[in-house]
């Protein structure tokens, strides 16, 4: 039965989502990898944080070359994660707690181990041939065009048996599905319906803005960076049409919450994807704010992060989505990103302050916040000692490619230590027992040695912890409509250390001020705001990570990594 809340059309706007990377969450069998039963065991932990939606990453049958993003069977659970009974039990246990389940849908591509692909590659006239994207070799026998895979190398794989190439934008075992084929779209509707009927409440759609390719498959002449072909398939010609079809056939009939993962997208497209009038998705993820430490936009080239760019990207998306009626998925972290705590702040001496500061900064924005497992206890990136410690396919490919392109092994090792997706894939640190309480066996990837200090048990027991800070923020979102509706205004004028913004309505104003540096910072509010402060009926400090109870005044002094959220009620005349 649907809860009362879910009957409203945009029930998810006051929600906070918790992202679970099941392989690293909790192992109940001792095999060293997490499983669905492990997630069930920890539901109360998630519920206590105030979470109402859990996003579970792929648990379908898969060879696991890309940790489940290579699906070989969309209708069954991989034995590594458990059984369909376990999944049904998860749905049941979530409903019992008045929580919702969002599952991950990976339909830009399937695994080459999928039955469809095996059929497709068996001969050129097999009925499944057209489920995938096949092209003849170029005149010299090489790939049909110069598009590059996101994991390095050509995006095309040659199939000896049938003498053609097939497209793989990610790993060579992730074959892109041909959405031009109506049968493929029918298959997707069918599998989405299957899971919706099982009782899931929503979907996160993996790289969904890549499903419509320019059918001319032109070479990329490199004039628009990064020049790897992405401009011919990103937010492609028919993508909105395809998404609308999914919405009409599945999302709306089942009243689902949906988030599209949008790779290298634009604001204009995200407004279309997420404005309710367009009937596409509930909200979108974009990654522009997490590219501010890419040198020349290249992921595998490092530079110190650009604080001003971070603030202006966040502000542009806040203002733009607000104006266009779109809705942002707000996040600092996920399973593909090194931790923001390590990238943008101080994960050593100021770890606690930094983690809380980042949380307050993000949770004051407009959108639906996502908390990635471990973020709520301040897990930083690990220290990497050797290349043999990594598991991620992208990392291992890129390490080789960096060396082929002239980096020394030391340089390549340094770059991957900063960029590897494995930075966020280490097991959840539950307590200070062996293997951090994650497994009784040998973990599939190393455990961060700091688990004696950084763990969920210690965090839940300490009322001043990062965990409890998140709990308060999540509660505030449920209580304060201004967090949902307030208009976003950036307040700092390129301050070198402070990010400050307001959310305003005609009666109230919410202010967030955060110091992103190790130095004490002085911040002066713009004049209009100071004037409004002057006439305020009341000012309440809603949350802070400092003990100084700083009084809001036109000029404030903020301690290193300090962060404050105030609510100001105007005086009604």
- CB closer to ligand GLC, 172 vs 311: 172
- Closest approach, Cβ 336 to ligand GLC, in A, equals 5
Nearer to ligand GLC, 261 or 376 (CB): 261
* Cα angle for residues 112, 117, 122 (degrees, 5° grid): 115
| Local structure of 129: helix, strand or coil | helix
Give, for 66, the enclosing helix (H) or strand (E).
none
Using CB under 6 A, which residues numbered 335 to 364 contact ligand GLC?
335-336
Please say whether the dihedral angle defined by the alpha carbons of residues 444, 449, 452 and 453, taken in this order, is positive or negative.
negative
Does 170 engage in binding with ligand GLC (CB under 6 A)? yes
**CB contact at 8 A, 329 and 285:** yes
Residue 207 or 330 having the CB closest to ligand GLC: 207
Nearer to ligand GLC, 29 or 266 (CB): 266
Query: In angstroms, what is the minimal distance from the CB of 263 to ligand GLC?
Result: 7
Binding flags for ligand GLC, 238-267, as an x/- string (CB under 6 A): -----------------------x------
Q: Which of residues 92-151 bind ligand GLC (CB under 6 A)?
A: 106
Q: Are 488 and 319 in contact (CB under 8 A)?
A: yes
State in angstroms the smallest separation of the CB of 104 from ligand GLC: 8
The residue at minimum Cβ distance from ligand GLC is 69
Question: Which is catalytic among the residues 104, 261, 293, 492?
Answer: 261
Instruction: Give the nearest distance from C-beta 69 to ligand GLC in angstroms.
Output: 3
Number of chain residues interacting with ligand GLC (CB under 6 A): 9
Could you say whether residue 206 binds ligand GLC (CB under 6 A)? yes
207 binds ligand GLC (CB under 6 A): yes
- 206 a catalytic residue: yes
- Distance between first and last Cα of the chain: 47
**Should residue 293 be labelled a site residue for ligand GLC when binding is judged by CB under 6 A?**
no
Please report whether residue 66 would count as binding ligand GLC according to CB under 6 A.
Answer: yes
Q: Is 545 helix (H, G, I), strand (E, B) or coil?
A: coil
**81 or 307, CB closer to ligand GLC?**
81
Contact 516, 498 (CB under 8 A): yes
Nearer to ligand GLC, 259 or 313 (CB): 259
Secondary element (H or E) of residue 56: strand 53-56
* Residue nearer to ligand GLC on the CB measure, 133 or 533: 133
Which residue, 106 or 552, is less far from ligand GLC as judged by CB? Answer: 106
List the catalytic residue out of 201, 206, 293, 346.
206
* CA 242 – CA 82 distance, rounded (Å): 32
Between CA 71 and CA 114 the distance in angstroms is 7
Q: Give the CA angle between residues 230, 233, 235 to the nearest 5°.
A: 105
176 binds ligand GLC (CB under 6 A): no
CB of 172 to ligand GLC, least distance (A): 12
Looking only at the bridges linking them, the beta strands covering 555-558 and 521-524 are: antiparallel
Which helix or strand (DSSP H or E) is residue 329 part of? Answer: strand 329-330
Interaction between residue 71 and ligand GLC (CB under 6 A): no
Whichever of 73 and 306 has its CB closer to ligand GLC, that residue is 73
Residues of span 356-415 touching ligand GLC by CB under 6 A: none
| Rounded least distance, CB 548 to ligand GLC, Å | 40
Task: Report, in Å, the least distance between residue 61 CB and ligand GLC.
Answer: 15
Shortest Cβ distance from residue 170 to ligand GLC (Å)? 4
Using CA atoms, how far residue 8 sits from 200, 322, 400, in Å, is 17, 21, 51
Whether the CB-CB separation of 376 and 353 falls below 8 Å is answered with no
Cis peptide before 426 (omega within 30 of 0): no
Interaction mask 457-486, ligand GLC, x per CB under 6 A = ------------------------------
Long-range contacts made by residues 295-301, C-beta under 8 angstroms, separation at least 24? 296/225, 297/225, 297/226, 298/226, 299/419, 300/398, 300/401, 300/402, 300/415, 300/419, 301/415
Report the residue from 45, 55, 69, 501 that binds ligand GLC according to the rule CB under 6 A: 69
**Cα–Cα distance measured from residue 369 to residue 385, given in angstroms and rounded to the nearest whole number:** 33
Q: In whole angstroms, give the CA distance from residue 379 to residue 388.
A: 22
- Which is it for strands 521-524 and 536-544: parallel, antiparallel or unpaired? unpaired
Strand partners, 285: 261
Tell me the closest approach of the beta carbon of residue 421 to ligand GLC, in angstroms.
Answer: 7
Residues recognised as catalytic? 206, 261
The footprint of ligand GLC (CB under 6 A) covers 66, 69, 106, 170, 206-207, 261, 335-336
């Amino acid at each position: 039965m649907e809860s009362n809340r879910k009957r409203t059309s945009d029930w998810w706007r006051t929600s906070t989502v918790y992202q679970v990377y099941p392989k690293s969450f909790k192992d109940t069998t001792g095999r060293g990898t997490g499983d669905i039963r492990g997630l069930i065991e920890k539901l109360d932990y998630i519920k206590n944080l105030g979470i109402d939606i859990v996003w579970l990453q792929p648990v379908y049958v898969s060879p696991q070359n890309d940790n489940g993003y290579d699906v070989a069977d969309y209708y069954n659970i991989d034995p590594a994660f458990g059984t369909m009974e376990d999944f049904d039990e998860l749905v049941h246990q979530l409903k019992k707690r008045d929580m919702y389940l969002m599952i991950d849908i990976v339909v830009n591509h399937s695994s080459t181990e999928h039955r469809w692909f095996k059929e497709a590659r068996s001969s050129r006239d097999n009925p499944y041939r057209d489920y995938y994207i096949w092209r003849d070799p170029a005149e010299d026998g090489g790939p049909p065009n110069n598009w590059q895979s996101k994991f390095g190398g050509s995006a095309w794989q040659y199939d000896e048996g049938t003498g053609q190439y097939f497209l793989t934008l990610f790993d060579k075992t992730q074959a892109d599905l041909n959405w031009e084929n109506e049968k493929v779209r029918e298959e997707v509707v069918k599998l989405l319906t299957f899971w919706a009927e099982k009782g899931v409440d929503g979907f996160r759609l993996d790289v969904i803005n890549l499903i419509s390719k320019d059918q001319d498959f032109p070479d990329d002449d490199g004039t628009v960076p990064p020049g790897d072909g992405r401009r011919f398939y990103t937010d492609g010609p028919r993508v909105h049409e395809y998404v609308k079809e999914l919405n009409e056939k599945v999302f709306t009939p089942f009243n689902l919450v949906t988030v599209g993962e949008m790779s290298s997208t634009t604001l204009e497209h995200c407004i279309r994807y997420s404005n309710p009038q367009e009937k596409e998705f509930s909200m979108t993820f974009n990654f522009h704010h997490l590219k501010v430490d890419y040198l020349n936009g290249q992921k595998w080239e490092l530079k110190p992060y650009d604080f001003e760019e971070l603030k202006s990207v966040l502000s542009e998306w806040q203002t733009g989505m607000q104006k266009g009626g779109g809705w942002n998925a707000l996040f600092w972290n996920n399973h593909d990103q090194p931790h923001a705590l390590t990238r943008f702040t101080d994960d050593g001496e100021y770890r606690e302050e930094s983690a809380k500061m980042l949380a307050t900064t993000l949770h004051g924005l407009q959108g639906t916040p996502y908390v990635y497992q471990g973020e709520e206890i301040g897990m930083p990136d690990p220290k990497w000692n050797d290349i043999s410690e990594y598991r991620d396919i992208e990392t291992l490919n890129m390490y080789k490619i960096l060396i082929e392109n002239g980096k020394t092994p030391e340089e390549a090792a340094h770059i991957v230590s900063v960029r590897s997706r494995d930075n966020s894939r280490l097991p959840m640190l539950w307590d200070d027992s062996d293997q951090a309480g994650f497994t009784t066996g040998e973990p599939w990837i190393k455990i961060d040695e700091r688990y004696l200090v950084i763990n969920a048990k210690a965090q839940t027991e300490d009322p001043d912890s990062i965990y409890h800070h998140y709990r308060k923020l999540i509660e505030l979102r449920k209580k304060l409509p201004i967090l949902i509706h307030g208009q976003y205004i950036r307040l700092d004028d390129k301050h070198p250390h402070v990010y400050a913004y307001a959310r305003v309505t005609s009666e109230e104003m919410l202010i967030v001020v955060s110091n992103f540096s190790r130095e004490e910072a002085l911040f002066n509010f713009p004049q209009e705001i100071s004037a409004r402060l002057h006439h305020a009926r009341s000012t309440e400090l809603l949350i802070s990570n400092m003990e100084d109870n700083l009084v809001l005044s036109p000029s404030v002094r903020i301690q290193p990594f300090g962060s404050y959220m105030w609510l100001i009620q105007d005086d009604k005349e």
